[in-house]
Structure 1
Amino acid sequence: MAVTTPIRTWCDLGLVLDVPELVAAGDWLLRWSIASTSELERAADRRADRRGVPVVREALQLLDRRSESPKESELRAIVRLGGLPVPDVNVDVFDPRGRFIARVDLLFAEYREVLEYQGDHHRTDRAQWRRDRTRESELESLGYHVTEVTDGDLADPNALVARLARLFRRAGWTGSPRALDGIRRRPHG
């Protein structure tokens, strides 16, 4: 039975996945040390069939081994593609006495903004929901604004980026977001 390597498969996925999805797959390869960024770059360079390579090249610029979930990776890719500030990934936040408060998905320290991807279990698991509310209150008591993002938000990247841009502007950001028309290849939800 013929099979491809994970690296080759990742490049092949450039034909069927959009950039945020390909970033999620690439982050997973990096996180679990299945591939390095340089190995993925070399595989893209060697690709005889150039179809899908533009998506692969764009995704390569956004990979981050610190990502801990596919949806978090997609969110980070949308933020970056949308021209918003660059976040720190999976950051531990402590109170002034050094007590651990939370590990946050995406932190924009300069703007005191935290983005948290919330899967459905954050809504359906009562104990998780309660922990999330306390955690959010703790973060906000330290001066952070917490924005929760769901899969529905990822399905409409332009609306998400516009909303996040308003939050960053409120905190002093002077940049301009980019339109993400056509970023999603197929309907999500």
Structure 2
Amino acid sequence: MGSALDIGVGRDRLDRSDLAAPFGGVRAPAAFSDDFHTRCEAALLVSGPEAVLCGPTSAALFGLPLPARHRPGPLTPIHLALPAGSRAVRRAGITGSVLQLPPHHVTRWLHLATTRPARTWCDLATRLSLPELVAAGDRMLRLRLCTTDELARVADERADRRGIRVIREALDLLDPASESPKESELRVLVVRAGLPAPRANAEIRDEHGRFVARVDLLFEEYGEILEYHGDHHRTDRRQWRRDRTRESELESLGLHVTEVAADDLRDPPALLRRIARNLARRGWRGTLRL
């Protein structure tokens, strides 16, 4: 790999203020030095031709939902891997690892070397909780980046078996119908607690077949609905009014709506007990597992 000095760029040019160093030994336009794609490219440049992006970094490139601790930002480390037999990269701003990567586990995405979507998802199993991993998998299936069968196959091909139990549990919970990470996480909490499996993004129609609403999660047998509402549902007055009208119309059809907010997900036992009581009121006779 050539360098700027090798092709005659003077050191004084490299030290000018319009250039910045995302990592030691590489320069980028200062205006773009904190850009996620630029940082990924720079990390690959300083790590050698066999380096590939992996884990949360690859997941972000593919557009998968990630918890705040792993979302791209100026201070978020770039995750990359070198092949077995190498020494992991040790450099500020880079989290390096050594992985056994068959050639078909690697691809190029946005002109960057990275693990394939299915391999990326499997490698996330050691970094994400089960609900977070399912949310990432739901988005991957919805974007048609891979199939459930491919995820299962790649999981079995990995030489590193870490996280395999979580992967197998997550595979049984994936649903491409889910449209948001919080819907996915809520669905996982419900199913793992022994409640009936709800249908994601189900359409509700009235007795004349007229479309009424598409709801986040529907316990079809019991006429119970779970709706996850982000903060804008509370702070936007017009949205709040639409929610009330929609909820009234659903309840006029004999359905019952439980609204779930971020605070509810911080206390899962209380939320699950409330859902279980509503289901029991409508005939569910199962046992809640907390």
Question: Post-superposition shift, 1:156?
Answer: 2.1
Which whole-Å deviations, capped at 9, do the CAs of 1:89-147 have from their partners, x for residues lacking one?
A: 11111111222110001111211100001111111111111110000000000000000
Question: Post-superposition shift, 1:42?
Answer: 0.7
Answering whether residue 279 of structure 2 is matched by residue 168 of structure 1, we say yes
CA–CA distance in 2 between the matches of 1:98 and 1:25?
Answer: 34
Q: Structure 1: which 5+ runs fail to align?
A: 180-189
Helix, strand or coil for the counterpart of 1:64? coil
Residue 112 of structure 1 aligns with which residue?
Answer: 223
Which whole-Å deviations, capped at 9, do the CAs of 1:28-82 have from their partners, x for residues lacking one?
A: 0000100100011111111211111111111111000111111101111111111
> Which amino acid in 2 is paired with 1:37?
T
CA–CA distance in 1 between the matches of 2:268 and 2:156?
Answer: 29
Equivalence map 1:19-38=2 (5 Å): 19-38=130-149
Question: Post-superposition shift, 1:13?
Answer: 1.0
Indicate the structure (1 or 2) with the bigger Cα radius of gyration: 2
Question: Post-superposition shift, 1:17?
Answer: 0.8
Residue 68 of structure 1 aligns with which residue?
Answer: 179
Answering whether residue 167 of structure 2 is matched by residue 50 of structure 1, we say no
Determine which of 204, 219, 237 is the counterpart of 1:126. 237
Question: Post-superposition shift, 1:10?
Answer: 0.8
Helix, strand or coil for the counterpart of 1:115? strand
> Which amino acid in 1 is paired with 2:252?
S
> Which amino acid in 1 is paired with 2:178?
S
Helix, strand or coil for the counterpart of 2:202? strand
Question: Post-superposition shift, 1:155?
Answer: 2.0
Q: Structure 2: which 5+ runs fail to align?
A: 1-43, 45-51, 53-113
Taking only aligned residues, the RMSD between alpha carbons, in angstroms, comes to 1.0
Question: Post-superposition shift, 1:153?
Answer: 1.5
- Worse-superposed segment, 129-138 or 3-12: 3-12
Q: TM-score, normalised by structure 2?
A: 0.60
Helix, strand or coil for the counterpart of 2:115? coil
> Which amino acid in 1 is paired with 2:225?
V
CA–CA distance in 2 between the matches of 1:109 and 1:60?
Answer: 23
CA–CA distance in 2 between the matches of 1:40 and 1:159?
Answer: 33
Helix, strand or coil for the counterpart of 1:96? coil
CA–CA distance in 2 between the matches of 1:150 and 1:16?
Answer: 24
Determine which of 190, 195, 200 is the counterpart of 1:89. 200
CA–CA distance in 2 between the matches of 1:159 and 1:53?
Answer: 30
Residue 121 of structure 2 aligns with which residue?
Answer: 10
Aligned residues: 179
CA–CA distance in 2 between the matches of 1:48 and 1:171?
Answer: 48
CA–CA distance in 1 between the matches of 2:171 and 2:205?
Answer: 32
> Which amino acid in 2 is paired with 1:13?
L
- Worse-superposed segment, 8-17 or 131-140: 8-17
CA–CA distance in 2 between the matches of 1:18 and 1:55?
Answer: 8
Q: Which has the higher contact order (CA 8 A, sep 6+)?
A: 1
Answering whether residue 248 of structure 2 is matched by residue 144 of structure 1, we say no
CA–CA distance in 2 between the matches of 1:13 and 1:153?
Answer: 25
CA–CA distance in 2 between the matches of 1:47 and 1:155?
Answer: 33
More strand, by proportion = 2
More helix, by proportion = 1
